[in-house]
Every structure is written in structure tokens, then in C-alpha cells.
Amino acid sequence: MNFELSDEQQLIQQTAREFTDGEIMPVAGENSENHFFDRELVNKIAGQGFLGAIVPREYGGAGLDYTTYAIICEEIGRGCSAMRTVVSVQTSLVCSTILKWGTEEQKQRYLPLLCSGEWLGCFGLTEPGTGSAAANQKTGAAEQDDGSWLINGAKMWISLGNNASLALIFAQTDPSLGHRGLACFLVETDQPGFIPAPITAKMGLWASDTAEIALDDVTASADSMLGEIGDGFKVAMSALDSGRYSVAAGCVGIARASLEESIAYANERTQFDRPIAGFQLVQAMIADMVVKTEAARLLVFKAGSVKDAGKPSTLETSIAKYYATEAAVWCSDKAIQVHGGAGYSREHPVERYYRDARVTTIYEGTSQIQQLIIGRAVTGQDALKPMTNETAEAAP
């Protein structure tokens, strides 16, 4: 096992780091304060090739491996989680899903537009009453005589929903079929029935575009389905498997940023005639930040290596997502503690890190869902499967 980055990976890491330092970090605080989704900055990110990092070059992407993609997400996540969210949604949830499930025509039409940043995409799975139980979609799709589909329903907490030109919309084609009736549609949003509205009353990710979307007789063409009827749940799970990976990598960036800010502040701040970095309990918090950050990165890299090998990676991705997101929350919380009263104010970025980190343990599968995925993998028992009389009698 080689822990050294290749020359190409080191170059991309340096490029992403310098870009984050020069373009993202100088405006991250102001954009957050103003609840401003910085489309110009998104275009700059796209110009670096970061929006299509794992998409093959033939479709307009950079053709990078997953480990290198994680490096990019970590660096951007270190600077601004709202911008890392753009990279995650565009690349992991939208592009990789089209790449895996789309027809050649769908790939040729949409991927170059998405990789270039000319179009943004969104992932319409979550509904007002449907979160972790992703199979229970209330949004419905009715097939028309010409083969097109008419979609009605609502989606909630949709990142990039207000700016997206393309939406992946999950809908139920036949409620009597349960999850076997689910389908995913590629919906172009420039039609009257697609009605997004901003969600602004959020604890964090103030510079991120978050929407609730009403779908009122939205039309999806006959050739807009990803896969077939009944594939919708599998499409969603494969997309989340990719999305969770980039969230985990971004959270390594949050943990690292929290650590770096804490080290700098602890060496500057003096109490009792010495820098607080010399106090044992401050060093203990910083030491634990180091350990959690390093461990999170290695778990992300392990998941990436499994993905790059083309093997099933759900378990490794869930482990990385669970650990890295919880580590980011822990490290950003302790960064506030190291900063003391100053950390509780907007004078320092650590309060933003904490607010932005907190949601990562919720979206794209809560920490509790990750625990159930991990538990199912190692025990063979599915805690989400309804218990029958037979299994209830056999249970201890």
C-alpha cells in the first residue's frame, strides 16, 4: 500500500490549494454573511476543471481518479463548504449518475454542458415528507400518449435547485408497485411547471443555493428516463454512494481548516504570559484534531481506492462519510473552544466551519443511516427491513 501521492496528484493538489487560497477563501466569509450564491466563483471553479473531475475527457470532464477527486474536494472544502457543495452535487450526484445510467445520447447532450459549468444540475430526491426513506416518493409521473411523462409533486432541500438548468427528478410511476415503480427523469427546468423557491432560514451553508421545488405538470420527454421503470431506487442509491464520498472528502477539508486556524490562533493568543498553545489541555484538543483529520483522510482514500478498482464501495464510502462528517463537527466545535469568546463571533471563520459542518451529518444519509449500512454489512441483518412475524419470533 502506497501512501505517497503521484506527481500528477501533487500538482493537482497544489493547483487546488492555490486556487482555494487565492479565489475562494478571500470571499467565503463575505458570501456567507450576505447569503450570496457566487455564480461567478462557480464559473471559475468550472474553469479549473473541478466540476467534471471524474468524468471522462470524451464527455468534457478531466478524467481523474476518485482519490484525486477527493484531494480537490478537501482543498475546496477547506475554503468554503458552500462551494464544495457545488462540486459535490454537480460532479457526484448529477454527472456521475448520468455517466453510470445514461444512454450515449444523454451523456453526449448533458455532460459537456455540466462539466463546463454552462449548466448546473440538481438532484431531486428528498421530499417534504420523505428523507431517509427514499423509496417512499410521493411525486408522481404519468405517461402520456406520445410517450412523454407528466410529473407532479414537490421536492425539498435541493442544492442548486434555484440555478439548475437540469434536474434529476425521482418519481413514482405506479404507487401499487412500491419501489419497483420508481423512475429517475432528466428534467430540463426552463418550463413553467418547474417552480423553485429559495430556502434561506438555514443554520449554515449560507452561501449555498438551497431550494424547495414545486412540480406542476412538468414535462419529461420520452427519452428522458435514466435506466428503466423500477431502476429509480438503484439510481438514487448509486448517486448517493458517489455523493457521500465527496461530502466525506470535503469534511476532511473542514477538519483541516479548523485545525490550521486553531494552531495559528493558539500560538498568537497569550494568557498568563505565554501562548495558549503551550497549555496542555489546548494541546490535547489540537492533538485530537490532528488524529481525527488524518484518520478521516485515510478512510476517504481507502474508499477512493476501492472505487478506482471498480469494486463495490458502499461499505467503505459509508464508513468514510460517517467518520469524516462527525470528525468535521467535532474539530470545528473544538476550534471554537480553542478560540474562546473570539471563536463564538464572526471575527474568525471557525464559527462558519461549525455551522457548515453540522448539516453534513444529516444530508446524503444521516450518520444513523450510515451506522445501519455499516451494521447491515457486517451482521447480515437489515435493520430497515420491516420485521415479519417469523423474524420477530426468531429475534433475541
pLDDT tens profile 328-373: 999 999 999 999 999 999 999 999 999 999 999 999 999 999 999 9
pLDDT tens profile 188-230: 999 999 999 999 999 999 999 999 999 999 999 999 999 999 9
Query: Which CATH code for domain 7-115?
Result: 1.10.540.10
Give yes or no for residue 237 having a pLDDT over 70: yes
Cell triple for residue 395?
429475534
- In CATH, which of 3.10.20.740, 3.40.1160.10, 3.40.640.10, 1.20.140.10 is domain 234-379? 1.20.140.10
Name the CATH architecture for the domain at 121-231: Beta Barrel (2.40)
Q: What is the mean pLDDT of residues 272-285?
A: 97
pLDDT recorded at residue 3? 83
- Our answer to whether residue 364 is catalytic in this structure is yes
Q: How far apart are CA 317 and CA 370, in angstroms?
A: 9
pLDDT tens profile 56-86: 999 999 999 999 999 999 999 999 999 999 9
Average pLDDT, the chain: 95
Give yes or no for residue 299 having a pLDDT over 60: yes
Q: What is the mean pLDDT of residues 133-162?
A: 93
Sequence spans of domains, the chain = 7-115, 121-231, 234-379
Active-site residue identified among 4, 212, 364, 393:
364
pLDDT recorded at residue 379? 96
Q: What is the mean pLDDT of residues 15-33?
A: 98
